[in-house]
Structure 1
Amino acid sequence: PKGPSLNPSRKRLAVHVEDHPVEYASFEGTIPQGEYGGGTVMVWDRGAWLPENDPVQEYGKGHLRFRLQGEKLKGAWTLARMNRSPDTQGRNWLLIKKKDPEARQGPLAEASGMEDRSALTGRTMEEIASGRDVSRSGTGDLFEAEGARPAPMPGRPKPHLAVPAREPPEGDGWLHEIKYDGYRILCIKKDSAVRLITRNNQDWSEKFPDVVQAAASLPFEQFILDGEIVVLLPDGKPDFQALQNILKGEKSGRTGYYVFDALFCSGYDLTGVPLVQRKKILQRMLEGVSRPLVYGDYIQGEGERVFAHACRMGMEGIVSKQAESRYEQGRSRTWIKVKCLKRQEFVIGGYSEPSGSRSGFGALLLGYYDEAGRLVYAGRVGTGFSEKTLQDISGRMATLERKDSPFHKSPSGREAGKVHWVQPQLVAEVEFSDWTEDHIVRQASFKGLRPDKPAREVGLESPEAGPRSVTKGKESRKNRVAGVLLTNPERILYPEQGLTKRDLALFYQKTAGLILPHLADRPLSLVRCPKGHRDVCFYQKHLNEQIPETLTEVPVREKGEQRTYAAVRDLPGLISLVQLGVLEIHPWGSRMDMLEKPDRMIFDLDPGPEIRPEDMVEALSLV
């Protein structure tokens, strides 16, 4: 038998059998051959069956309509009796999925594409037939936890990213973790194969074979774990430079994979489970493991004390997460990161010549991409390099040299002396004390290259990372609308009417009740004109690292790749579009939770210049 299909166009044979005792619903095991129903029996799904009408009458008519609330099968279904024949006596029926939000197309619509484990015990048919009670640490939690749901394993998951903040949040509703000074890695196990995937979707399994081997030994055939790989110093603190050495093939310290979240396990999607419950599940999954796998523990509440201790210990900072937060694939305000020192990634756009006995180069010229996609110069870093890193980076830059500057505004004066330009492809992580008034980093120190970070995604990590004129609070309250800071609020966007950036934000604030019902929770395509509609404008569909936390990220698969759109959920999100210089907002016809099921059709009427406004209004009323 092919099993049920979630595709309404597919009909599946269902045979009416004799009544069974109610206790049989929870039976799982092997019935001896020769007896009725002999063979291995699995409880493939379980849940509730809800008839839509009188089931006795509909059964008599041969057309039974009902709803299923199972762990695998959900939504509306129909059982239709086939034409009776002497040999079947009306036993053959057709099981048909009705068109509703639970319907599916493609391979995932078929039973063969669904989880093939028991909904009762999590065992496969082979394990049931063997009679062994297979131990799966934590599976009880997986089945019972609020928000866990049966689902196929996702193909290319994205990590939940934290938003930078100045200070940790207060209250017991937050869980605080150490910010590990390492590489973010998703550990994916499927069909006994383990892969270590970076944020940039690179496979680093071969770089950390000890982690792969330890993860493969976990007693689960499928899972997705989230954590960071670090190298520990003898005092237990992480060493980012030592981690870089391992990536180059050099042995350097003890490797540890600190696992702090679980997205999927044994056929269950855990992203909808509250974080504090996911932590309990993860702890059960990692019971009895030893290095290099380490459970990433947390402290609930007392954020300020946790942060102070982390800084005194020389750690990078902390990550604070809402205890009830769900796992969101993208950046979200439910996770925030607070750093002890200012530290972020920069794009390398050039280098200066070395002096004295130094080899390779003198300093790296740093930059980041602004909202308009321009590379902005942010200063130099000339300390923190070993002889090996000098030679390594010099070799990489030698293949990237170019004649002209990649920066939007090149450095001038002494900053431009004896400089070589390179293609902006390498990303460096840099620690620094502060920003100058001219938007240049102070006392910068090189920490390492970031091969896991795409250069085009490198921007200012937060408004707090900007120049002092912002961070020291010189802006006035009138420059904030709905809590969103407007930079250049007097910039004229529509010269014909004399409308400024602040005017547009205040208009949106006043009319949000009319706008948001048509925009909220829909992916957006945007036309941005940072200096007004008469200046340079550009079309943007996909998000990058500079997008404010007030917007929601929507993952969309396009042409075989995972891309990210923006969505607005509230007034601050709407005002953030103004801050980004958005003058045209084009919402999708579908919502972010049902991308493939549009619920709106838009008629775009473009009147010619000779059309009078009153004629246009009449045309709209006719449409």
Structure 2
Amino acid sequence: MARKTTLKKPASSTKAANLFGIALDTPPMEARTAEALPQGEEWQYEPKWDGFRCLAFKDGSEVTLHAKSGKPLARYFPEITAMLAAIPVERFVIDGELVIETEGHLSFEALQMRLHPAESRIRKLSEATPARLVMFDMLLSPEGRSLIDLPLTERRDALEEFARRNARPRQLVLSPFTTDFAQAERWLSSSGDDATDGVIAKRRDGPYEAGSRAMFKVKRLRTADCVIGGFRYESDSAEVGSLLLGLYNAEGKLDHVGYTSTLSDEDRPALTKRLEALQAPPGFGGKAPGGPSRWSTARSAAWQPLRPELVVEVRFDQVTGQRFRHGTTLMRWRPDKDPRQCTFDQIAPPLAPDDIK
């Protein structure tokens, strides 16, 4: 039997404090990074979505959205607050992910554009690229019952019943799940563009542990063959510090897409000589690396263009705006690969949640 939760009173609404049974600043349950998925009948697997984590609270016509950090999100997603306010249910608390689809794929860049100070700009974006809320847990039922101490199986049953009655196509959708380990492994597959951003593993008998890393996440680490279009020297050194990576766009021009700096110290001297022998402009015929920033020194910002002859395979996790969001890991050199074969189709983003099977 679930214990009765003592509420923290939200500043905006005394009514909400009495009804929710859950504080508005409740932190979401989080996940620890793992190298591999746990196996066993006690585990449930769900796709990891590339979006903004969001706890959605509703009490009557009042809707609030909170990010994982606890900061309010409602002003940036007016279409979501309006949609939730219109649902004919008096109250609920849902845990989910805000995502935006562009051309059939998720776009983290479109989400970042929402964090804009101008309300007029946000309104325009909400109409041009509307967000959706992908639901994967429920903390408070429409009947006003706290579910946080119940096992995941019961919370999921309540969420599925809510979704059956209230889901909105392309606005409010239910995240799929599986207890089939083989299916979860397929979601992690690095082949094709229909895989997810990763997989979350949750204990089916576990309660909702707010603020705790009680789940496991395994990121979908993908690989791509990239052309080395340039390099940067290490700061205060005559040896290479990082390789600048490129992919050929639809116009046949080489665009800069990121970097890798996972080079061993023993390889740097020989690699530096090899790269210096290939120096020639322009390096990148399409989008080139940016110039200095306020954090960079003149030495670290400068880059050396190369003839596009060398190809490396790198491992990456996420892509934003057709660029690797983080640094990549050098896997191996690809002397067997024609640089012209290194194109953007290798880093296509995951499909939207409606299309995951």
Q: Which residue of 2 aligns with 1:157?
A: 26
Match of 2:184 among 299, 306, 309: 306
Q: Which residue of 2 aligns with 1:326?
A: 207
Q: Judging changes above 3 Å, is the alpha-carbon distance between structure 1 residues 105 and 209 closer, same or farther for their aligned structure 2 residues?
A: closer
Give the secondary structure class of the aligned counterpart of 1:269: coil
Alignment of 1:324-403 (within 5 A): 324-333=205-214, 335-341=215-221, 401=294
CA–CA distance in structure 2, aligned partners of residues 195 and 115 of structure 1? 13
Match of 1:447 among 320, 339, 353: 320
CA–CA distance in structure 1, aligned partners of residues 80 and 52 of structure 2? 13
Give the secondary structure class of the aligned counterpart of 1:215: helix
Q: Which residue of 2 aligns with 1:259?
A: 135
8 Å CA contact 2:52, 2:99 repeated in 1: yes
Give the secondary structure class of the aligned counterpart of 2:40: coil
Listed one character per residue, the Cα deviations across residues 404-430 of structure 1 (whole Å, up to 9, x for unaligned) are: x7xxxxx9x964658xxxxxxxxxxxx
1:200 partnered with 2:79: no
Question: Which residue identity is paired with 1:307?
Answer: E
Query: Per-residue deviation at 1:226?
Result: 0.7
Listed one character per residue, the Cα deviations across residues 415-459 of structure 1 (whole Å, up to 9, x for unaligned) are: 4658xxxxxxxxxxxxx945xxxxxxxx797626xxxxxxxxxxx
Q: Which residue of 2 aligns with 1:170?
A: 39
Query: Per-residue deviation at 1:336?
Result: 0.9
1:316 partnered with 2:197: yes
Give the secondary structure class of the aligned counterpart of 2:106: coil
> How large is the Cα RMSD of the aligned pairs?
5.0
Query: Percent identity over the alignment?
Result: 23
Gaps of 5+ in 2: 117-121, 224-241, 243-255, 262-283, 304-312, 322-327, 332-357
8 Å CA contact 2:30, 2:213 repeated in 1: yes
CA–CA distance in structure 2, aligned partners of residues 307 and 209 of structure 1? 36
Question: Which residue identity is paired with 2:197?
Answer: E
Query: Per-residue deviation at 1:171?
Result: 2.0
Q: Which residue of 2 aligns with 1:278?
A: 155
CA–CA distance in structure 1, aligned partners of residues 140 and 73 of structure 2? 20
Q: Judging changes above 3 Å, is the alpha-carbon distance between structure 1 residues 218 and 243 closer, same or farther for their aligned structure 2 residues?
A: same
Q: Judging changes above 3 Å, is the alpha-carbon distance between structure 1 residues 433 and 158 closer, same or farther for their aligned structure 2 residues?
A: farther
Instruction: Give every structure 1 segment of 4 or more consecutive aligned residues whose post-TM-superposition deviation is greater than 6 Å.
Output: 69-72, 104-108, 112-117, 361-366, 465-468
Listed one character per residue, the Cα deviations across residues 134-156 of structure 1 (whole Å, up to 9, x for unaligned) are: xxxxxxxxxxxxxxxxx733131
Gaps of 5+ in 1: 1-68, 73-101, 118-150, 344-351, 353-360, 367-382, 406-410, 419-431, 435-442, 449-464, 469-623
Normalised TM-score (structure 2): 0.55
Based on CA coordinates, which of the two structures has the bigger radius of gyration? 1
CA–CA distance in structure 1, aligned partners of residues 28 and 44 of structure 2? 18
CA–CA distance in structure 2, aligned partners of residues 242 and 106 of structure 1? 34
Give the secondary structure class of the aligned counterpart of 2:96: strand
CA–CA distance in structure 2, aligned partners of residues 279 and 241 of structure 1? 30
Match of 2:164 among 274, 284, 287: 287
8 Å CA contact 1:245, 1:252 repeated in 2: no
Q: Judging changes above 3 Å, is the alpha-carbon distance between structure 1 residues 273 and 467 closer, same or farther for their aligned structure 2 residues?
A: farther
Alignment of 1:11-22 (within 5 A): none
Q: How many residues align?
A: 253
CA–CA distance in structure 2, aligned partners of residues 386 and 197 of structure 1? 36
CA–CA distance in structure 2, aligned partners of residues 390 and 446 of structure 1? 17
Q: Judging changes above 3 Å, is the alpha-carbon distance between structure 1 residues 227 and 324 closer, same or farther for their aligned structure 2 residues?
A: same
Q: Judging changes above 3 Å, is the alpha-carbon distance between structure 1 residues 319 and 362 closer, same or farther for their aligned structure 2 residues?
A: closer
Question: Which residue identity is paired with 1:159?
Answer: P
Question: Which residue identity is paired with 1:200?
Answer: S
Match of 1:188 among 41, 46, 57: 57
Listed one character per residue, the Cα deviations across residues 23-60 of structure 1 (whole Å, up to 9, x for unaligned) are: xxxxxxxxxxxxxxxxxxxxxxxxxxxxxxxxxxxxxx
Question: Which residue identity is paired with 1:296?
Answer: S
Q: Judging changes above 3 Å, is the alpha-carbon distance between structure 1 residues 433 and 106 closer, same or farther for their aligned structure 2 residues?
A: closer
Give the secondary structure class of the aligned counterpart of 1:281: helix
8 Å CA contact 2:7, 2:21 repeated in 1: no
8 Å CA contact 2:2, 2:149 repeated in 1: no
8 Å CA contact 2:55, 2:67 repeated in 1: yes
Question: Which residue identity is paired with 2:156?
Answer: K
Normalised TM-score (structure 1): 0.34
CA–CA distance in structure 1, aligned partners of residues 195 and 111 of structure 2? 17
Question: Which residue identity is paired with 2:139?
Answer: L
Query: Per-residue deviation at 1:341?
Result: 1.2
Alignment of 1:105-254 (within 5 A): 152-235=21-104, 237-247=105-115, 249=122, 250=125, 253-254=129-130
CA–CA distance in structure 1, aligned partners of residues 317 and 178 of structure 2? 32
Query: Per-residue deviation at 1:219?
Result: 3.4
Q: Judging changes above 3 Å, is the alpha-carbon distance between structure 1 residues 234 and 200 closer, same or farther for their aligned structure 2 residues?
A: same
Listed one character per residue, the Cα deviations across residues 360-417 of structure 1 (whole Å, up to 9, x for unaligned) are: x997999xxxxxxxxxxxxxxxx9x989x979xx9xx6xxx36xx7xxxxx9x96465
Query: Per-residue deviation at 1:330?
Result: 2.0
Q: Judging changes above 3 Å, is the alpha-carbon distance between structure 1 residues 301 and 215 closer, same or farther for their aligned structure 2 residues?
A: same
Question: Which residue identity is paired with 1:277?
Answer: E
Query: Per-residue deviation at 1:305?
Result: 3.2
Query: Per-residue deviation at 1:233?
Result: 4.1
CA–CA distance in structure 1, aligned partners of residues 147 and 40 of structure 2? 25
Query: Per-residue deviation at 1:332?
Result: 2.2
Q: Judging changes above 3 Å, is the alpha-carbon distance between structure 1 residues 286 and 386 closer, same or farther for their aligned structure 2 residues?
A: farther
Greater relative contact order (CA < 8 Å, ≥ 6 in sequence): 2
Question: Which residue identity is paired with 1:272?
Answer: D
